[in-house]
A and B are shown apart, each in its own frame.
Chain A
Amino acid sequence: MSIARVNRLSPYMFMAPAVVIMAIALIYPLGYMIWGSFRDWAPSQTIGEAEFVGLKNYITLWNDPNFHESLTVTLKFAFFVVSIEMVIGVGLALLLDRDIRGMSMLRTMLILPMMIAPVVVGLMWRYMYHPTVGTFNRTLDSLGLPRVDWLGDHALMSVIIADIWQWTPFIFILSLAALQSLPRSALEAARIDGATAWQQIIYIKLPLMMPVLIVTCLLRLIDAFKVLEVILVLTEGGPGLSTEILALRISRTATEFRELGVAAAMSNYLLLLLMLLTVGMFAFTRWQEARAARIRALAEEDS
């Protein structure tokens, strides 16, 4: 083999072990799930024994109002959680991006919630939401205000609040990192050009942070669609189906209803949804880049 050829192949050789592990750990279970979703499959059977039923699982789900309900809850949850977290996280980052004494301490404290295990977060909030001895209702009592039925009537809202508490720091630190890597002199130029603090944010900081914000938003969306532990601990999906997000329903379909095939089909719907979202997001940025390039090309033709 010639040296040039070895040189060309060496990157692939170095990557090969990682690719093999990826294939085993990612592709295999994925294939297994897709394969299983076409079968009427109980946990006591091996996948070979299960009867092949074609698209039946998918069709059943498509017409199942409970599945619709669960999907709606998931979409609602993801939408509210991500948009509120983005606003608070980015807002905090904009507010705290300055050199004041004690700021680094404050920043560290703000990211603490993210470091706590989700199950612990769930337990903690369940205690705080407790109708009689919980922190919130006791506080309301002492203020002479009526109690709130946190995990009953307002279960979805309560679950959303807990998630916001836990995941806003994630957006906060990424936004802060993005902010601190902005070109300092461009911001100084904006100050000289007459931009107020608010105008600097709107016209300079946010547009320049946008690539990071888009990726952050995407990561949070994907995560929000898959959230499980906190809700499991807080409400177990109740009352009724009011907080039964898809991940929870999938897990219950597999364990309680013992319908592995249906659970697999549901997982695939979720996967499809996430993929659409991701592709859509990237297509959007591509489109924006392409549009900018087209404008540039046009301008060059003119000149």
Chain B
Amino acid sequence: MPIIRLDSLVKRYGEVQVLHGIELEMADNEFTVLVGPSGCGKSTTLRMIAGLEDVSDGEIYIGDKPVSHLEPKDRDLAMVFQDYALYPHMNVAQNISFALRLQKRPKSEIDTKVRDVADLVGLTDFLARKPGALSGGQRQRVAMARALAKDSGIFLFDEPLSNLDAKLRGQMRAELAMMSQRVEKNMIYVTHDQIEAMTLADRIVVMHGGYIQQQGTPEELFKRPANRFVAGFLGSPPMNFLTARIQEENGQIFVAGQGFRLRLDGAKAQLAGKAKAGEVILGIRPSDLRFDAEASAETSLSLNVLVSEYIGAQSVLLCECGGTNVMVELNSETPVALGQTLNFTVNPNGIHLFDQQSEEALS
């Protein structure tokens, strides 16, 4: 399968520039997810790769070939659209086989292909129906089947699950993950949903405001976010951020702010030295806080518990620390009472430090 490379890709609509020099290389057989808040330019990037939008500047390479002047049909790709984009006047079989019929493949081959693909996505019983007589999930499968039938090396998805209800979305997500392991293709998947990104991706590309913020495996991004935006975007419930200063006392390094003062050890303490003027943002994920009544003040936050959200085995506590809201995720069995001020130990590896001005992670 060809490697896709974006070289300083720029998109302008009239005077407005919406993509600012996107640099990206997608390896062979990789499931790449472009993720970011609505309006950050994910779809535009994908549509430029597809050839549905003109490239304002820069170049797209598929294999070694520059393709930005090629029509979509000459780029060897298939695409699944957010609204499925089925042909309403054709039945499921005709929808799936449209590309093959345009290629004038022999009828027997087309029939076999349609049956195989329909089987793969579980549509065999619906081949004669028009899209209007299908449910949302089934239409989604038709869109998927149509893309699969094309046998192209590159597979593009633009928020394919966002029109489904929550339960179906979870189910389709799992099916998609299974399918992506079975078929050998380069997949580029656009979503605003970080859970989809985390579960599906070999590699996540986080975008914001027309720039790439960070790219890497889900684990890299989750454990070592490059800046405050990425840290806050990935993970649910989101990371807590506290304004703080670095302090030194008796050779020990502390990060202190309204209502807390944590000791930093080893590598973290060295990082702290790089903060400009000692001003930092302390980031701690809700899952890196653990209830411990006996914890010492140097390793814990003392939080005033405001609300408890029960979500089954886990609960999310909404707490307050020196005027800032802090969320804690913990086992629902843990005995905590609302309105109390309690101590929560901070996992030393879960401490993230960001520069206050640039919001970049200290590294």
Contact = CB atoms under 8 A, between A and B. Distances in A.
A191 B72 contact: yes
A192 interface: yes
Given A199-B102, A203-B98, A186 B87 contact: yes
Contacts of B73: 191-196
A190 interface: yes
B85 A193 contact: no
Interface in B78-93: 78-79, 81-89, 91
Nearest to A298: B128
B128 A192 contact: no
A263 B87 CA distance: 50
Contact of B52 (A183, A188, A207): A188
B103 interface: yes
Interface residues of B, number: 33
A47 interface: no
B50 interface: yes
A184 to B, nearest CB: 8
- Looking at chain A's contact residues, the main secondary structure is helix
B102 A193 contact: yes
B1 interface: no
A188 B85 contact: yes
Given A207-B89, A292-B130, A303-B126, A192 B83 contact: no
A73 interface: no
A189 interface: yes
B85 A194 contact: no
A279 interface: no
Interface residues of A, number: 25
A295 interface: yes
Contacts of A189: 79, 81, 85-87, 146
A75 to B, nearest CB: 32
Nearest to A295: B128
Interface string A274-303: 000000000000000000100110110011
Nearest to A191: B72
A208 interface: yes
Contacts of B128: 295-296, 298-299
A157 interface: no
A186 B77 contact: no
B150 interface: yes
A185 B81 contact: yes
Contacts of A173: none
Given A186-B88, A189-B85, A296-B133, A195 B126 contact: no
A191 B85 CA distance: 12
A212 interface: no
A194 B126 CA distance: 25
B85 to A, nearest CB: 4
B88 A208 contact: yes
Give the top 8 A-B pairs by smallest Cβ distance, nearest first: A299-B128, A303-B125, A185-B85, A193-B99, A194-B73, A189-B85, A207-B89, A192-B72
Given A185-B85, A186-B88, 7 more contacts: A186-B86, A188-B72, A189-B85, A193-B73, A193-B99, A204-B87, A295-B128
7 contacts: A183-B85, A191-B51, A192-B73, A292-B130, A299-B126, A299-B127, A303-B124
